[in-house]
């Protein structure tokens, strides 16, 4: 179950993306991504700028990247499995936010990552995104 800080980060990240990258990126919360015969809803999905059009209940277009926020009650097992499935589905970037450590792990493949702490500027070189984590963890 998402916690208070999970909810805060889940609202701060899309706000930060919209302010800085709104002309070229959209960040969608909790959308059901259709991955084969199942649906997987990441906490946040990063897309090229999306315009209003036909409504979709299950999105078949894979995002450029996804963000999973690990609540204190969760273990690393589920995000580890999800990370591999996202990269298998052609994701370009996967962010794992650890609330207890106020850190974000940015993966460009299933094995290698860069770690950014709450005082750092997160730099996702693949998606060309930079976010000041002091503002995101505020």
Query: Per-domain residue ranges for the chain?
Result: 4-136
Residue 133 confidence (pLDDT): 96
Bridge-partner residues for 73, per DSSP? none
Those residues of the chain that have pLDDT short of 50 are none
Query: What is the model's pLDDT at position 20?
Result: 95
- Residues 34-66 as b or e (16 or more Cβ within 10 Å = b): bbeeeeeebbbbbbeeeeeeeeeeebeebbbbb
- What predicted TM-score, i.e. pTM, was given to this entire model? 0.91
Span 4-136 CATH architecture = Alpha-Beta Complex (3.90)
pLDDT of residue 69: 94
Q: How much is the pLDDT for 1?
A: 63
């Amino acid at each position: 179950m998402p916690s208070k800080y999970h909810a805060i980060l889940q609202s701060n990240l899309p706000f930060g993306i919209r302010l800085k990258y709104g002309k070229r990126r959209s960040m969608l919360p909790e959308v059901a991504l259709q991955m084969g015969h199942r649906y997987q809803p990441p906490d946040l999905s990063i897309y090229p700028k999306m315009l209003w059009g036909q409504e979709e209940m299950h999105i078949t277009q894979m995002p450029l990247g996804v963000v999973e926020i690990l609540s204190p009650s969760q273990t690393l097992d589920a995000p580890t499995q999800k990370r591999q499935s996202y990269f298998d589905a052609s994701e370009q970037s996967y962010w794992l936010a650890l609330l207890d450590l106020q850190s974000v792990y940015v993966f460009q493949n299933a094995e290698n990552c860069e770690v950014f702490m709450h005082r750092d500027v997160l730099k996702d070189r693949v998606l060309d995104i930079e976010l000041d984590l002091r503002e995101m963890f505020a």
